[in-house]
């Protein structure tokens, strides 16, 4: 389950940010996950919940914003929304260039 290693890096970023801001705890965390990132949001939250006991984010509210995948076709000079297994242009079947949807980041972090 690769969400565990991702959860670990998310959790250490939260730890660092809270310490850096001289905060006591994280209140709210908004994560942005691209739909092409292969991360299952539910699994990620599950991993965090399983490991948050006694941390600065144990009572924090975790929210997830999913953003759609974006592909670009050079031939058609067109950008459109794509699913995780769509690699070719719908019109000309050219290989698409991925332009978005692979990201994972902490968009907002509320610290107390
Ligand atoms: Zn095309």
In a domain, 78, yes or no: no
The pTM is what?
0.85
State percent of the chain over pLDDT 90.
91
C-alpha of residue 78 to centroid of ligand 1, in Å: 7
C-alpha of residue 105 to centroid of ligand 1, in Å: 30
C-alpha of residue 38 to centroid of ligand 1, in Å: 25
CATH number at 55 reads 3.30.2320.50
| Number of separate domains in the chain | 1
The secondary structure of the chain in percent helix, strand, coil, rounded to multiples of 5, reads 25, 35, 40
**Please, what is the average pLDDT of the chain?**
95
Looking at residue 1, what is its pLDDT? 56
Q: Which domain holds residue 62?
A: 3-68+102-111
What is the rounded distance in angstroms from the CA atom of residue 20 to the CA atom of residue 29?
Answer: 16
pLDDT tens track for 46-79 = 999 999 999 999 999 999 999 999 999 999 999 9
Given a cut of 60, is residue 94 above it in pLDDT?
Answer: yes
In a domain, 96, yes or no: no
C-alpha of residue 104 to centroid of ligand 1, in Å: 27
In a domain, 83, yes or no: no
C-alpha of residue 39 to centroid of ligand 1, in Å: 28
Helices 3-20 & 41-51 angle (0-180, nearest 10): 60
């Amino acid at each position: 389950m690769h969400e565990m290693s991702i959860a670990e890096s998310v959790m250490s970023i939260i730890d660092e940010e809270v310490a850096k801001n001289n905060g006591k705890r994280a209140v709210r965390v908004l994560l942005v996950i691209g739909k092409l990132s292969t991360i299952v949001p539910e699994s990620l939250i599950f991993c965090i919940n399983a490991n948050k006991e006694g941390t600065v984010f144990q009572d924090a509210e975790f929210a997830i914003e999913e953003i759609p995948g974006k592909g670009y076709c050079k031939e058609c000079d067109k950008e459109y929304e794509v699913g995780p297994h769509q690699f070719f242009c719908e019109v000309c079947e050219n290989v698409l260039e991925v332009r978005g949807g692979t990201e994972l980041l902490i968009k907002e972090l509320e610290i107390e």
